[in-house]
A and B are shown apart, each in its own frame.
Chain A
């Protein structure tokens, strides 16, 4: 059962462009996390959001948790080649069992 759908699945953009990745579900989550994964490595946590409507910023990355806590978005401003990677969202209701989305593979072309 795939509870979290991410879109787009693949994204290739030029350096300096902006982009948004979406994470949608029909289920409500008490918390949602975003991870970035590089080839040959495990995912690394970027942010955790827990409150409906919450917005968190991490340098050029802006994360938003939907008001109903069913969806989330990740916006990257002025993308850099170093942003290239697989972005994964993960939702939880227990705090220790997470359901991961299918992932968005981002390539930023110099």
Chain B
């Protein structure tokens, strides 16, 4: 029962670099989400996907790109990283609407 896994767990990069965070779920859940967690802000939704090839913006999408070519994968790309994107990023999946969201263990990203 692998569930939902995120990689890498930790990443340090420099401003201007491109970085991709990976998320993989084994449940064939329809919905997948990317959040960032910052002190004082809680969890904020970046992007979400209702199914393969369907993605939509959340509360804070600027500077991020997502894709979902396969149901099980939902990578998040920072095309040109900025220091304000230093955060802990969480991926989550959900079977259908109103069902529980299941979270990965997060990726701690530091941008120098």
Contacts and interface: CB of A to CB of B under 8 A. Distances in A.
Interface of A: 1-2, 4, 6, 31, 33, 40-45, 48, 50, 88, 90, 92, 94-103
Contacts of A40: 105-106
A42 B90 contact: yes
Interface size class of B (residues with CB under 8 A): 20 to 34
Interface of B: 31, 35, 40-45, 48, 50, 58-59, 90, 92, 94, 96-106
A1 B59 contact: yes
A96 B48 CA distance: 9
B106 A102 contact: no
Contacts of B96: 95-96
A14 B104 CA distance: 31
B100 A100 contact: no
A54 B98 CA distance: 16
Contacts of B59: 1, 99
25 contacts: A33-B101, A41-B103, A41-B105, A42-B103, A42-B105, A43-B103, A45-B100, A45-B102, A48-B98, A48-B100, A50-B98, A90-B43, A95-B96, A96-B48, A96-B50, A96-B97, A96-B98, A97-B45, A97-B48, A99-B45, A99-B59, A100-B42, A100-B43, A100-B44, A102-B42
A93 to B, nearest CB: 11
A1 B105 CA distance: 25
Contacts of B99: 95
Given A42-B90, A42-B105, A42-B106, 14 more contacts: A1-B59, A2-B41, A33-B100, A33-B101, A41-B105, A41-B106, A43-B43, A50-B98, A88-B43, A95-B96, A96-B31, A96-B50, A98-B101, A103-B42
